[in-house]
Amino acid sequence: MNKIIKSIFVVGLYFSFGILIAEAQVDSTHKDEEQLYRFARFLKTEKEYKFAVEEFERLNYLYPNNINYIKDLLYCSRQNGEFNRIASQFKIDNNTPKDIIFEYALGMVGVEKNNDAIQLITSNGILKDEKYGPNGGKFIYAVDLLNGKFPEDNHLISDQNLLNLKVEYINMPTKSPVKAGILSTMLPGSGRVYTNDWKNGLLGFLFIAGTGWQSYSRFKKSGISSVGGWIYGGLSVGFYLGNIYGSVVSAKKYNRSQKKRIDEKTHRYLSGLSM
């Protein structure tokens, strides 16, 4: 309930600024710029990123010489899932401030352009910069982890959070798709149970056992010519084969979910490096 009230309040403030915005477009005074920026920052602080993106876009349009607006715009756009649209408005080169390059690279990781992000960091002198170099090194280390690489600890060994992430990746629990398939071949549903999918494992076993029993009963009663026996037998075979395939898929899904869980931690770590 409090969240709904808060959202209504923020939206109300947003639209109430319509008059101020209109005036700012006609008369772009320093006071107007300060008020607009204060409001945009308020939206950012309240994590109303959709509205914040619109305000920082407006500020960047009205006052294009202020690089802080670009940085905030890139930050809010990646939080709101609009990074690709916003990033297309900017051209990154050697003259671009390094904090903006870094924010741009973070956005690229958010849209799974990991290798391009590393290239951007390494090709713009960030690693050699006294101020930004340490975070640049941590950035590459973390992105390597996202890519399934385990870099040497070297000078980053003091960053315990980063090293803990590496340990989590190395010790990440996984399930073998081959083993899951073999288990379900020997005992229907057991491969699903192996991947912690108890519900579908039990249902699969019951379906296969149930249709198999119905087929057996009808063949025993009416012989090989039993239509019901063939129907239930076909269903049983179909469920059996599906149970093997489903167990393989379930193991792969389990592995993806485990990696996704740690990837989310790594993305939060990267976001904390924002300059």
**DSSP secondary structure of 135-161:** HHHHHHHHHHHHTT-----GGGGG-HH
Cβ atoms 271, 83 nearer than 8 A = no
Q: Is the pLDDT of residue 23 over 60?
A: no
Over residues 42-69, the mean pLDDT reads 89
Q: Is the pLDDT of residue 27 over 80?
A: no
Residue among 150, 100, 145, 184 at smallest CA distance from 265: 145
Six token digits for residue 109: 């990781």
Indicate the SS3 state at residue 12.
Answer: helix
Ranked by mean pLDDT, the top range of 23-27, 65-69, 125-129, 144-148 is 144-148
pLDDT at residue 5, rounded to an integer:
56
**pLDDT tens readout for residues 174-219:** 999 999 999 999 999 999 999 999 999 999 999 999 999 999 898 8
Enumerate the domain spans of the chain: 2-171, 177-262
Q: Is the pLDDT of residue 51 over 70?
A: yes
Mutual angle of helices 18-26 and 2-16, in 10-degree steps: 30
pLDDT at residue 19, rounded to an integer:
47
* Confidence band, pLDDT 50/70/90 cuts, at residue 3: low
Share of the chain above pLDDT 90, in %: 46
Over residues 71-97, the mean pLDDT reads 87
Residue with tokens 């073998």: 176
Cβ atoms 104, 90 nearer than 8 A = yes
pLDDT at residue 54, rounded to an integer:
92
Numbers of helices and strands, H then E, in the chain: 14, 0
Q: Is the pLDDT of residue 11 over 70?
A: no
pLDDT at residue 77, rounded to an integer:
92
CATH number among 3.20.20.120, 3.10.20.740, 3.40.50.800, 1.25.40.10, domain 2-171? 1.25.40.10
Ranked by mean pLDDT, the top range of 22-26, 79-83, 125-129, 179-183 is 179-183
DSSP type of residue 125: T
pLDDT at residue 160, rounded to an integer:
86
**pLDDT tens readout for residues 218-253:** 888 888 888 888 998 999 999 999 999 999 999 999
Half-sphere exposure of 137 (CA within 13 A, CB side): 16
167 or 7: which leads in pLDDT: 167
* Confidence band, pLDDT 50/70/90 cuts, at residue 108: very high
C-alpha dihedral over 268, 269, 272, 273, to 10 degrees? -140
Query: How many residues in the chain?
Result: 275
DSSP character string of 185-231: HHSTTHHHHHTT-HHHHHHHHHHHHHHHHHHHHHHHHHGGG-HHHHH
The whole-chain average pLDDT of the chain stands at: 85
Half-sphere exposure of 50 (CA within 13 A, CB side): 4
Listed range (6-10, 24-28, 71-75, 157-161) with the worst mean pLDDT: 24-28
pLDDT at residue 7, rounded to an integer:
57
pLDDT at residue 263, rounded to an integer:
94
- Measured between its terminal Cα atoms, the distance across the chain in Å is 34
pLDDT at residue 173, rounded to an integer:
95
* Confidence band, pLDDT 50/70/90 cuts, at residue 48: very high
Over residues 20-46, the mean pLDDT reads 72
Indicate the SS3 state at residue 91.
Answer: coil
Phi, psi of 129 (to 5 degrees): -80, 135
C-alpha 188: how far from its chain's center? 34
Cα diameter, the chain:
94
Task: Name the amino acid, one letter, at 98.
Answer: K
